[in-house]
Amino acid sequence: MSNSLPPKPRIVGAKTRICIVASLYNEPFTNALTENAIAELRELIPHGRIDVIRVPGAFEIPVMVASVLQRDPPACIIALGLIIRGSTAHADLVGSSVTDALQRLAIQSLCPIIHEVLLLDDEQQAHARCIGPELNRGREAARAAAAMIHIFQELDRSVPRNTSVRNQRYA
């Protein structure tokens, strides 16, 4: 990812709903990711609805995303978590598993899933990406979500097809 935030897209539809699924593990960092994402979303989509669901750890994020998609798909889902590498391969295995699952869910559902489940080497990197102002991945995730919602809105307007489910997301 880049060192700067992407531009702020324009979102049409005051009732746009976004769901954030965030890990509780490494709480100071995941709380900061979540708070920054919410603050940015409130700026980008002032009248939108933001649902936040907290799960124990990064490994639990995909199953919750699948549940959200099955019950009432939002316009976009943001997955937030933090995995810090240790002396074993566990972190890499969890990171890979989460990434594969989230990508598969996004493709199957045609719902954008913004993946900011970070796999980092240490707390210094975590601080820079979760709490620091320059590489803030929570804000970056919110902007990516808004951009994807905007792209899907434009696509839905320009390519008529049976989009009754997708159109409900932007009412």
Which residues are 135's β-sheet partners? none
Kindly state whether residue 11 falls inside one of the protein's structural domains: no
Residues in the chain, pLDDT under 50: 1
Domain of 137: which CATH number?
Answer: 3.40.50.960
Which pLDDT does position 88 carry in this prediction? 83
Which pLDDT does position 17 carry in this prediction? 94
Kindly state whether residue 110 falls inside one of the protein's structural domains: yes
The tens digit of pLDDT for each residue in 78-114 reads: 999 999 998 788 888 999 999 999 999 999 999 999 9
In the chain, how many domains are there?
A: 1
Which pLDDT does position 12 carry in this prediction? 53
The alpha carbon of 138 is separated from its chain's Cα centroid by a whole number of angstroms, namely 8
Kindly state whether residue 5 falls inside one of the protein's structural domains: no
Contact 40, 142 (CB under 8 A): yes
Contact 84, 91 (CB under 8 A): yes
Q: How many angstroms separate the CA atoms of 74 and 153, rounded?
A: 13
What does pTM read for this prediction?
0.86
Which pLDDT does position 161 carry in this prediction? 59
Kindly state whether residue 96 falls inside one of the protein's structural domains: yes
Kindly state whether residue 9 falls inside one of the protein's structural domains: no
Domain that holds residue 30: 17-168
Kindly state whether residue 2 falls inside one of the protein's structural domains: no
Kindly state whether residue 1 falls inside one of the protein's structural domains: no
Kindly state whether residue 106 falls inside one of the protein's structural domains: yes
List active site positions.
Answer: 90
| Nearest CA-CA partner of 53 in 36, 77, 83, 82 | 77
